[in-house]
Amino acid sequence: MATLNFTIDEALNILWANGMLPEGMKNIKANREGLQVALAGGIDIMVRQESFSNGILKLAITSKSWAFKLADKAGLVDEKIDELLKDRPFIRRENKTLTIDLNRALQSKIKGIQVKDFELLDGLVKITF
């Protein structure tokens, strides 16, 4: 078993370099609550880890901003997120939860890899294989 620790920026750069994140998700900042992601149209969302089990990572999408609440009522948040996630079969969206199959996502790049633990905490990503 091996554990890797990354800053959010390092982890995101690895994901972008391997084509695992959509181009529209490059504006991501880490804070104590999770990740702040700027979507097209001036909509900011917060993404925080909800759970991790058997290679499946669940992320909750939230925001305290008025722009988010108004855009969400108009259906624009779901539309922008769905736009970003198309052609990424290892990510599913159910309402305001993203479910990511990390093993499936990583196995397209590294055959036979199994993620044992994942933690997103205070701007750091800890992955145990």
Give the pairing of strands 3-7 and 28-31.
unpaired
pTM beyond 0.85: the answer is no
Of 121 and 3, the one with more pLDDT: 3
Q: pLDDT at position 24, please? A: 60
The pLDDT, as a whole number, for residue 116 is 85
Residue 128: closest CA among 10, 14, 2, 7: 2
pLDDT digits (tens, 9 = 90+) for 88-102: 888 888 988 989 888
If you search the block for the tokens 């370099």, which residue do you land on? Answer: 17
What pLDDT, on the 0 to 100 scale, is given for residue 90?
A: 85
Residue 3 has pLDDT above 80, yes or no: yes
Name the average pLDDT for the chain.
80
Domain residue extents for the chain: 3-128
In tens, the pLDDT along 11-63 reads 777 777 777 666 666 577 777 677 787 776 677 788 888 898 988 999 888 88
- The full 3-state SS of the chain, as one line of letters, equals CCEEEEEHHHHHHHHHHCCCCCHHHCCEEEECCEEEEEECCCEEEEEEEEEEECCEEEEEEECCCHHHHHHHHCCHHHHHHHHHHCCCCCEEEECCEEEEEHHHHHHCCCCCCCCCEEEEECCEEEEEC
8-12, 71-75, 82-86, 93-97: lowest mean pLDDT where? 8-12
Task: Output the pLDDT for position 75.
Answer: 86
